[in-house]
Chain A
Amino acid sequence: MNIDKILNIAKILFSGLGTSIEIFIITLIFSIPLGILVAVLKNSKNKLISGIMKLYVLLIRGTPMILQIIFVYFAPYYLFKFSYDRFVAIIIAFVINYAAYFAEIFRSGINSIPKGQWEAGFTLGFNKIQIFMLIVLPQVVKKILPAISNEVISLIKTTSLAQIIGVAEMFSFAQKQSSYNFSIVPLLIAGGYYLVLVFIISILFNKAEKKLEYYS
């Protein structure tokens, strides 16, 4: 395989990278706030609400993501003859899945903040939402950043599952090119792309952690 061929394959894979990154970013934008909400509701004193959240986290973490993706896309069709955009289905499946993992991380972070912080906020007249947003959450973010970075790194690689329901992301191109050329090179190029992305994500998280080192 000559260098032109390799560059050509790299170019083809690169054209799928946009979709992978789209899935990645849109999933983060929706799953992190949803994860925080689930974390708060799971801590709720209302047994029904916390019970529903527990069940949600159990189901999502307890079943393979591939099953969840297929379910989200095909269940509406089998049940109601309702079909919809594959990309939308992937986003829904990814957001539902990652929110469950983020929820557990945020919940452990929230529970690690001393009760005294809530109490001080309360005696100063803040309402619960203000205490959470102004006092608790900023401290939680610092504590959970390493755990969050793990999930975010896993997410960029997991976008490759989108091809299950035919979303044309980068890795689906790599597989096609691999069998078409009868070569392992396209897969290695795909691996290289993931590696670069993970490297960039790691640098960003390191920077964020450094930035939050101003207090202890």
Chain B
Amino acid sequence: MNVLEVQNLKKEFNGTEIIKDISFEVKEGETLVILGPSGTGKSTILRCINNLEKVDGGNIIVNGSSMIKEYKNSKPIYNNKEILNKINLEIGMVFQDFNLFPHLTIKENIIKPLKYVLKKGKEESEEIAKKALEKMGLIDKIDSYPCELSGGQKQRAGIARSLAINPRIICMDEPTSSLDPELVGEVLKAIKQLASERKTMVIVTHEIKFAEEVADSAIFIADGKIVEEGKPEDIIRNPKEQRTKEFLKRYI
């Protein structure tokens, strides 16, 4: 079953089309990686899925609910707040620069949304926070502030916070790009663990080897279009298109 369908997505910034007609789908339990050169709109796709950017064309369907209600004069009309809020909670987001809340402990970072958005009680929230942090190997940092954590720990805390609201899909926007090289491994390992537990994920990454290991499918994007799609090992080891070959040359 498809938990996420992106249909003919279009997005422009100041009249320049950044995303030109991109479609893909993600099945329950599947990990999709989005590869491609910088500045080709990979992050923008995730931002549209998270409703951080408004689309200019196409549609995004999450677990059967459609973000766009209709088109009027070829302008998208979004569905009502209730539907969008429901969709919002089905999608988690892990940011490149973590975006933890610096004034709150790691535990509070995780608990606040549980308390204020999902209206869960204190004990249940703490239980969920502990579980998420245990999974990310951060239970000993539960009462630390983000500024006391290393980059890798911050990102794992970011993943834990996203996991805690139990979304159907977790989007990760270059989760290791702001990390020192020696800290990349621990974050990739944590993501791999989620993949092995069949958490549905869409990951934008430049870590080619990781992509091959973790993903069930991959799309390669350049100039706002899908150049190639399929099994990650096929795209990475036997790219068909010239554009893909050029890109991968730099990594392998």
Answer whether residue B93 sits at the interface, using C-beta atoms and an 8 A cutoff. Answer: yes
B145–A215 contact, CB under 8 A? yes
Q: Complex: how many Å from CA A120 to CA B99?
A: 6
A120-B95 CB under 8 A given contacts A125-B85, A142-B103, A215-B145: yes
Q: Complex formed: what's the CA distance from A215 to B97 in Å?
A: 17
**Which stretch in A3-11, A130-138, A147-155 binds the other chain?**
A130-138
Question: How far apart sit A68 and B92, CA to CA, in the bound complex (Å)?
Answer: 51
* Contact B88 A215, beta carbon cutoff 8 Å: no
A116 within 8 A of partner (CB): yes
> Of B30-38, B109-117, B128-136, B197-205, which binds chain A?
B109-117
CB distance from A119 to the nearest CB of B (A): 5
Among B51, B89, B101, B146, max chain A CB count under 10 A is at B101
Q: Judge whether B118 and A215 touch: CB under 8 Å.
A: no
Q: Please report the C-alpha to C-alpha distance between residue A122 and residue B91 in the assembled complex, in whole angstroms.
A: 11
Asked if A125 meets B145 with Cβ closer than 8 Å, knowing A119-B52, A138-B103, A142-B103, the reply is no
A124 and B146 contact, CB distance less than 8 A: no
B11 at the interface (CB under 8 A from A): no
Q: Is B217 an interface residue (CB 8 A)?
A: no
The answer to whether B101 and A126 touch across the interface, beta carbons within 8 angstroms, is no
Contact A125 B165 (CB under 8 A): yes
Report whether A126 and B117 are in contact in the complex, using a CB–CB cutoff of 8 Å: yes
Instruction: Indicate if the CB atoms of B145 and A214 lie closer than 8 Å.
Output: yes
- For B78-122 the 0/1 string (1 means CB < 8 A from A) is 000000010011011101010111110000000011001110000
The chain A residues found within 8 Å of chain B, CB to CB, are 114, 116-117, 119-120, 122-126, 130, 134-135, 138-139, 142, 214-216
**21 cross-chain CB contacts under 8 A:** A116-B97, A116-B99, A117-B99, A117-B101, A123-B52, A123-B88, A125-B85, A125-B88, A125-B117, A125-B118, A134-B116, A135-B101, A139-B102, A139-B103, A142-B103, A214-B145, A215-B102, A215-B103, A215-B145, A216-B102, A216-B147
Residue of A nearest to B148 (CB): A215
Kindly list chain A residues whose C-beta atoms are within 8 Å of the C-beta of B161: 124
Q: Chain B nearest CB: distance from A113 CB in Å?
A: 10
Q: Is the CB of B113 within 8 A of A125?
A: yes
B146 near A215 with CB under 8 A, answer yes
- Is the CB of B155 closer than 8 A to any CB of chain A? no
The contact string, 1 if C-beta is below 8 Å from chain A, for chain B 209-243, is 00000000000000000000000000000000000
Interface residue from B91, B100, B101 paired with A123 (Cβ < 8 Å): B91
A139 to B95: give the CA distance in the assembly, Å: 20
B176 at the interface (CB under 8 A from A): no
The interface bits of chain B over 31-59 (1 if a CB of A lies within 8 angstroms of the residue's CB, else 0) are 00000000000000000001110000000
Residues on A with beta carbons closer than 8 Å to the beta carbon of B91? 123
Which residues of B lie under 8 Å from residue A122 when comparing CB positions? 50-52, 88
16 extra A-B contacts, CB within 8 A, seeds A117-B101, A138-B103, A142-B103:
A117-B99, A120-B101, A122-B50, A122-B51, A122-B52, A123-B52, A123-B88, A123-B91, A123-B92, A124-B113, A125-B88, A126-B117, A130-B116, A214-B145, A215-B103, A216-B147
Q: Which residues of B have CB within 8 Å of A120?
A: 93, 95, 99-101
Contact A125 B89 (CB under 8 A): yes
Residue from B50, B88, B103, B165 whose CB has the most chain A CB atoms within 10 Å: B103
Q: B89: which A residues are within 8 A, CB to CB? A: 125
Give the residues in chain A near B92, CB-CB below 8 Å.
Answer: 123
Among A120, A122, A142, chain B packs the most CB atoms within 10 A around the CB of A120
CA A126 – CA B92 in complex, angstroms?
Answer: 13
Closest to B113 in A: A124
Contact with A along B167-201 (1 / 0, CB 8 A): 00000000000000000000000000000000000
A135 — which chain B residues lie within 8 A by C-beta? 101
Please, which residues of chain A bring their CB within 8 A of the CB of B113?
A: 124-126
Bound CA–CA A122/B89 (angstroms): 10
Closest beta carbon of chain A to B237's beta carbon, Å: 34
Contacts of B85 in A (CB 8 A): 125
4 closest cross-chain pairs (CB), A and B: A120-B99, A125-B117, A123-B93, A124-B113
Question: Which residues of the other chain, A, contact B162 by a CB distance below 8 angstroms?
Answer: 123-124
Who on chain A is nearest to B101 by CB?
Answer: A135
Nearest-neighbor residue (CB-CB) of A142 within chain B: B103
Cα distance A125–B114 in the bound complex, in angstroms: 9
Partner among A116, A124, A138, A215 whose Cβ is within 8 Å of the Cβ of B117: A124
